[in-house]
């Protein structure tokens, strides 16, 4: 019999609602798995078993009363330490925030609980969620369960490491420049960055975010199956009046032709041979399942969007970010800010206006492109998952990391949804591709993601290496 912690979120929810398993049994199985493997990978940094079991008991009680507990009935899952969960510290991987105890839940946590999810624990992130590597001075270093020499990704490295190793059936992540998509890629699972305004966000424990972050940061699901991402997105995206950016758009849009563009080297990006092979393999899988896939050389500007994203994200409030990083004295955070200081300091009021004005022009071009091609197939990264802590190995290594991530960084500036899909393994290194669609058309990404998934993915969950 399959161990409960190995089940997909969708299958587990169905079994609990059918009375084949209790939510408490599922929660205890998840806690046992966490106890067995988390010491090796350090993915979950805050777990309170008594709270977990109490949540599960509430789901079982609702079922006993004949009530519908929600689409994630009794599913144990994790949330990231950079969102508010009442009674827990919103640390964001920072010692300065170890005592920042949330008095209320963020909209994401509330929505997951309303959908019946059981919050199993809180996952690690780099300090301030700045990097594609997950280590900090408060919670320590998270390891990739497939290969400890590789980064688990960041900033949602704990989330992806947890779900890949069977700690929870689904995970919450956040993405401002690739922080959902890259950890999913690095750990050999799937991750969805929703459209800006799809999933409500708010942390009452913290000051209001600068406009750059408001325009580009989102929450989304990381999971082992595309079907689980569908459930996670549906649960997370319920309305909440605390987020003025939330938009009431249906999760399913009108049918569109199954036409995709494949761009292996956007803006001349140099990609590893294994990355190109994964893209061609994904295109083949789509064609075999009824998609037309045209390989193209030209896209609307993406590198420019990535450069402007860095300027807007780090330049809007840079002085405060730098002061906090200096106080924290975290090497990774300091390196991330120092590497882009010159660009960030260029953002005066006139530059801020030019950046947002240019955003409208670029987004118009992208929207027109996505009418011709409803789906775009891109690299997640120009390289296979990096050696862990590569960005701290000198200026050349730092530049290499940021250059390879261009396709992830540019899309948040445009507010577009993107899906990282695992396609298999190259030795001990995961492979994957990135799918992009028009705003609020996550359904197109997921539809194509299911077609690619049918061709095979990396085995999951795995025992940490």
Residues labelled catalytic: 80, 155, 179
Buried b (16+ CB within 10 A) or exposed e, 264-301: bbbbebebeeebeebbbbbbebbeeeebebeeeeebbb
Strand locations in 38-136 (E): 44-46, 76-80, 118-123, 135-136
Strands 140-141 and 135-136: antiparallel
Q: Which two tokens stand for residue 317?
A: 């409030």
Q: Which two tokens stand for residue 245?
A: 């950016």
Of 271, 250, 254, the C-alpha closest to 262 is 271
Of 239, 249, 161, 212, the C-alpha closest to 359 is 212
- Please state, in angstroms and rounded to a whole number, the distance separating the CA atoms of residues 419 and 252: 16
Q: Which two tokens stand for residue 409?
A: 């960084």
3-class DSSP assignment, residue 323: helix
Give the HSE-up count for residue 150: Cα atoms under 13 Å, Cβ half-sphere.
26
Length of the chain: 465
**Bridge partners for 78 per DSSP:** 121, 171
- Please state, in angstroms and rounded to a whole number, the distance separating the CA atoms of residues 129 and 94: 9
Q: How far apart are the first and last CA of the chain?
A: 24
CB 60 within 8 A of CB 110: no
Buried b (16+ CB within 10 A) or exposed e, 153-174: bbbbbbbbbbbbbbbbbbbbbb
């Amino acid at each position: 019999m399959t161990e409960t912690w190995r089940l997909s979120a969708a299958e587990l929810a169905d079994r609990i609602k059918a009375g084949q398993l209790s939510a408490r049994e599922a929660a205890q199985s998840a806690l046992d798995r966490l106890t067995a493997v988390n010491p090796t990978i350090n993915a979950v940094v805050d777990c309170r078993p008594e709270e977990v079991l109490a949540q599960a008991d509430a789901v079982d009680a609702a079922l006993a009363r004949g009530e519908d507990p929600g689409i994630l009935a009794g599913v144990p899952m994790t949330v990231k330490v950079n969102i508010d969960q009442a009674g827990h510290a919103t640390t964001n991987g920072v010692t300065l925030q170890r005592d920042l105890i949330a008095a209320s839940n963020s909209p994401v946590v509330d929505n997951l609980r309303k959908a019946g999810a059981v919050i199993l624990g809180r996952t690690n992130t780099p300090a301030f969620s700045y990097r594609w590597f997950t280590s900090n001075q408060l919670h320590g270093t998270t390891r990739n369960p497939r290969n400890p020499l590789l980064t688990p990704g960041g900033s949602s490295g704990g989330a992806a490491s947890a779900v890949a190793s069977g700690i929870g059936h689904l995970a919450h992540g956040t993405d401002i420049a690739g922080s959902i998509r890259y950890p999913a890629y690095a750990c050999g699972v799937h991750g969805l960055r929703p459209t800006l305004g799809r999933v409500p966000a708010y942390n009452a424990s913290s000051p209001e975010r600068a406009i750059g972050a408001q325009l580009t940061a989102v929450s989304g699901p990381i999971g082992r199956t595309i079907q689980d991402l569908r459930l996670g997105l549906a649960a997370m995206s319920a309305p909440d009046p605390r987020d003025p950016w939330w938009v009431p758009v249906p999760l399913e849009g009108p049918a569109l032709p199954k036409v995709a563009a494949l761009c292996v080297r956007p803006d001349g990006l140099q990609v590893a041979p294994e990355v190109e092979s994964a893209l061609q393999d994904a295109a083949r899988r789509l064609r075999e399942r009824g998609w037309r896939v045209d390989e193209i050389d030209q896209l609307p500007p993406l590198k420019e969007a990535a450069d402007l994203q860095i300027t807007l994200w780090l330049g809007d409030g840079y002085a405060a970010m730098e002061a906090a990083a200096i106080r924290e004295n975290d090497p990774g955070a300091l390196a991330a800010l120092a590497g882009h200081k010159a660009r960030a300091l260029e953002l005066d009021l006139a530059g801020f206006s030019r950046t947002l004005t240019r955003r409208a022009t670029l987004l118009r071009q992208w929207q027109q492109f996505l009418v011709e091609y409803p789906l775009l197939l891109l690299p997640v990264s120009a390289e296979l998952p990096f050696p862990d802590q590569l960005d701290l190995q000198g200026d050349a290594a730092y530049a290499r990391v940021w250059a390879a991530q261009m396709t992830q960084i540019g899309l948040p500036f445009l507010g577009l949804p993107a899906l990282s899909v695992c396609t298999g393994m190259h030795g001990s290194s995961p492979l994957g591709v990135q799918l992009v669609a028009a705003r609020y058309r996550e359904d197109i990404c997921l539809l194509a993601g299911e077609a690619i998934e049918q061709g095979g993915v990396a085995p999951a969950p795995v025992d940490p290496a």
